[in-house]
Amino acid sequence: MASAEQDPLLLLRQAIASKQPAIPSASADDPVEAPLSKATHLHFPHPAPISVPLSTPTRFISSDRPVDLRSIYFAWLNKDVAIPEYNASANRLNDELGDLGTVQNLAFVERLDLFTWLEGASEESEHIRPVVGEGKDAAAASAAKATPSTAVSRSGRGAMDPRMAVIYSGERKMGDRNSVLRGIKPTDFSHVRKLAAPFMQKKPGSSQNTIMASAALAINPKPPTRRPDPIILLSPSASSLLRLSNVRSFLENGRYTPPDSSSASGTSMLHVSRLIKDVDPSRPMRFILVEGPEQFKPEYWNRVVAVFTTGQAWQFKNYKWSDPQELFRHAVGIYVGWRGEPVPESVQNWGHRVLHFGIDRPRREGNLVGAVPGAGEAARFRDKEVVETIWRSVESAMRTKGWTKNSAPMSI
């Protein structure tokens, strides 16, 4: 794996942050921009000029194998396009590449996780392995590098007197308990617990259960994995009041704005943050919002916590549970319509697991046709009441399904 200085993912992230984009080229020595279908290297001008082969495997893992730099760079170039267009572009590029390689299609959750990390919005990713040398080894190497030699200086004030250097060379290095007991390699002392157990049992107030539980502790426990992000499915219907273009403003800010059809067509997913106190009171949870499950892996369905619907059953055609009655036994159903208008009969027939909410029509500039009288700022204030009720319902369902501060449920 590449070092931190030459890691392709870090180089791409630094280039994005510095607004000095990477340049695909057909040669490592001549950074002249070339089409991605003809390029063999990716030239990074920042922080120092360097060219990396596009076939280089990165630390981003998909389907248990590293994704090459070409696929990562292609996904970044197409971060604002919809999923069907992204897939079609990948197929066209694969036809043009020929013997140069292929572009790997990334699932929508993987792409969102990658973009969030590349843009610097997150310092952790469940799909990116750490750089070789990160962690304790890097800290030790950095400390060793920063510590001056006793033969040269001990205070940073210049060269040391040769006679003092001889004196200091005879210093006895003091070790801590870890270096004395373990040496340079970790040593397993678990057998000591078994030898000590008979003596500990004879002490008043000792507990056999406590001793056995201590003996069962792992010597090197596996670090906790990153908590998966819950998923909310939106309705792709053009009649839906909430689309990808306006749902973030509604769920995060508690204010409804009409959907923008032009911007929605270029977005395939987004995320919103919300503090779910009953699940994790210490940090907000990130929810992934998407209009369709086309790129779902089977395990993603266990992370679905809510489904927005307009009452049209065709929305569930490609779902794991295509029958609405079965679907809403696994996830909360949410219908949002105009205040004062009747709820569709289909939504009513789906039962109490589909919650109904009404919002006021927005006031139109220069034209009040179709708008409810008084539906100005007061009406938009009522949007917050609806949003809070929706989040309370989602929070209650997540707690019931088994969401915790560190894990998602194995099945819903």
Percent of the chain with pLDDT over 70: 75
Q: What is the pLDDT of residues 300-330, one digit of tens each?
A: 999 999 999 999 999 999 999 999 999 999 9
Q: What is the pLDDT of residues 187-244, one digit of tens each?
A: 666 777 778 777 776 555 445 555 454 555 444 555 556 788 999 999 999 889 999 9
Measure Cα distances from 412 to 3, 118, 273, 287, 406 in Å: 41, 32, 22, 17, 17
Q: Is residue 152 part of a domain?
A: no
Residues contacting 40, CB < 8 A, separation 6+: 25, 26, 27, 28, 53, 54, 55, 100
Average pLDDT of the residues in 60-65:
88
DSSP reduced 3-state for 130: coil
What's the domain range around 101?
A: 8-118
Domain final residue pick, 118, 146, 164: 118
CA atoms within 13 A on the CB side of 92: 9
Tally Cβ neighbours within 10 Å of residue 77: 15
Q: Is residue 134 part of a domain?
A: no
Q: Is residue 153 part of a domain?
A: no
* CATH number (domain holding residue 397): 3.40.50.11990
The C-alpha atoms of residue 71 and residue 110 are separated, in whole angstroms, by 12
Same domain, 236 and 375: yes
Q: Is residue 395 part of a domain?
A: yes
Q: Is residue 308 part of a domain?
A: yes
DSSP reduced 3-state for 249: helix
- Report the domain count for the chain: 2
Q: ω before 21 within 30° of 0 (cis)?
A: no
Query: Residue 319: what pLDDT?
Result: 94
Give DSSP secondary structure letters for 91-108.
HHHHHHHGGG--PPPPPH
Residue 296 has pLDDT above 60, yes or no: yes
Pairing of the two strands 57-62 and 65-68:
antiparallel
Query: Residue 141: what pLDDT?
Result: 41
Query: Which two structure tokens, joined as six digits, stand for 17?
Result: 């942050």
Tally Cβ neighbours within 10 Å of residue 93: 19
Domain final residue pick, 118, 153, 175: 118
The C-alpha atoms of residue 300 and residue 330 are separated, in whole angstroms, by 13
Same domain, 109 and 258: no
Q: Is residue 362 part of a domain?
A: yes
